[in-house]
Amino acid sequence: MLTHLKNLCALSGVSGHEDTVREAIRAVLAQANIPVQTDNLGNLLVRRAKAGTPKIALFAHMDEVGFLVRYITAEGFLRVAPVGGVEASVAMGTRVAVGKGFIPGVFGAKPVHLLSADEKGKLPSIDSLYVDIGAQSRRDAEKYTQLGNAVTFERRYTVTNGGILSPALDDRAGCAVLLDLLLNTDLPIDAAFTVQEEVGTRGAQTAAYALEPDIALVLEATTAADLPGAADGKKVCEMGKGAAISFMDNRTIYEKKLFGLALHVAREKGISAQVKSMVAGGNDAAVIHKSRAGVRTLAISVPCRYLHSPCGVMAQSDLFAVRDLAAVLVEELLSS
């Protein structure tokens, strides 16, 4: 699972540009002789549910936040548009990769000596930033990139002290867990690796409609704000304390029975788990639970510090806790 995570985090997959991530997952599934389909939006769908049992589907999204090139200045700098919830404040001075060729660049901003007194006291906006790829002119820059190319944070994956540091952990972590469950268990589940979650859970809407699950488990990464100065009630969840189980977020109220069962199963099996303690964020569950006549839905997430930034941080133990909890919860649901 850790190898799959490392390989997936090395790939660029801004919403709408998930091609390389999709093909990597498809190749792994093909090697294991697991049939997979691609729908019109680009979701990968696996159908293994059996007749006569509850139809359970697991979801994880392939896309990540990032930027798209929207304009090239006469001097050769790239102006960008954000894709998903990414703030200019986390981008300043960071190294990026542009397009499928991973052209190296860096986010620049107006130097301090050119800032007005008003500007010095404000956070930058995306419109005030630019990507510098070392080009000397628009014509020079166009040799390497074009409008609509994706811009992602530099690919750098590090394992240290039981932690994982990387961009795109949201949600390559969920993808790695889902891959592991498909490859290393015989659970009769359907699965969807979805697209465009970061721009409005678009892929999950068509995937849920196609799979028609009775029950859905969303495998995610969620904000861990267990940082210096954060009040206990604002920490959301804590790294190293296991899988984060949601009762509600900004777009979904999760089914109480599933929420309670997940906590019970975690205690019974000795799996580290915690309750996500803030009503914040959202994920593919937002559209899954409203699909067709309704779907019983639960989100199980890996706590991740610095979500939607150049480098997230998560604990390996939390990743394994999410996998273990998802597996035993599916078993419990199938036997009930």
Whether 140 and 179 share a structural domain = no
Mean pLDDT of 93-103: 91
What region, left, alpha or beta, does residue 297 occupy, with left being phi > 0 and alpha being psi -120 to 50 degrees? beta
Answer yes or no: is 162 within a domain.
no
- Tens of pLDDT, residue by residue over 104-155, are 999 987 777 766 777 666 777 888 889 999 999 999 999 999 999 999 999 9
Q: How many domains does the chain have?
A: 2
- Tens of pLDDT, residue by residue over 204-233, are 999 999 999 999 999 999 999 999 988 888
| 197 in catalytic set | yes
Answer yes or no: is 318 within a domain.
yes
Whether 49 and 75 share a structural domain = no
Report the percent of the chain where pLDDT is more than 90.
84
Whether 304 and 192 share a structural domain = yes
Residues 147 and 167: their CA atoms lie apart, in Å, by: 23
Contacts of 229 (CB under 8 A, 6+ apart): none
Whether 60 and 71 share a structural domain = no
The chain-wide mean pLDDT, for the chain, equals 94
pLDDT at 17 exceeding the cut of 90: yes
Answer yes or no: is 159 within a domain.
no
Answer yes or no: is 161 within a domain.
no
| Tally of CA atoms within 13 A in the half-sphere of 244 that contains its CB | 28
Whether 57 and 123 share a structural domain = no
Q: CATH code at 91?
A: 2.40.30.40
Contacts of 173 (CB under 8 A, 6+ apart): 5, 219, 220, 221, 302, 304, 314, 319, 322
Where is the domain boundary, 122, 153, 184?
Answer: 153
Whether 43 and 75 share a structural domain = no
Q: Whole-model pTM?
A: 0.94
Nearest partner of 142 among 80, 79, 76, judged by Cα = 76
Res 283: pLDDT = 96
Residues 239 and 69: their CA atoms lie apart, in Å, by: 34
Whether 225 and 89 share a structural domain = no
Whether 284 and 329 share a structural domain = yes
Whether 126 and 260 share a structural domain = no
Whether 90 and 212 share a structural domain = no
Answer yes or no: is 182 within a domain.
yes
Mean pLDDT of 94-102: 91
- Tens of pLDDT, residue by residue over 227-276, are 998 888 889 999 999 999 999 999 999 999 999 999 999 999 999 999 99
- Tens of pLDDT, residue by residue over 46-89, are 999 998 889 999 999 999 999 999 999 999 999 999 999 998 88
Mean pLDDT of 176-188: 97
**Catalytic pick from 75, 119, 154, 197?**
197
Answer yes or no: is 254 within a domain.
yes
Answer yes or no: is 74 within a domain.
yes
Whether 290 and 203 share a structural domain = yes
Structural domain range at position 218? 2-64+167-335
Q: Dihedral angle at the C-alpha atoms of 265, 267, 273, 275, nearest 10 degrees?
A: 80
Whether 40 and 188 share a structural domain = yes
Find out whether 311 and 167 touch, Cβ atoms under 8 Å: yes
Answer yes or no: is 20 within a domain.
yes
Indicate the SS3 state at residue 316. Answer: helix
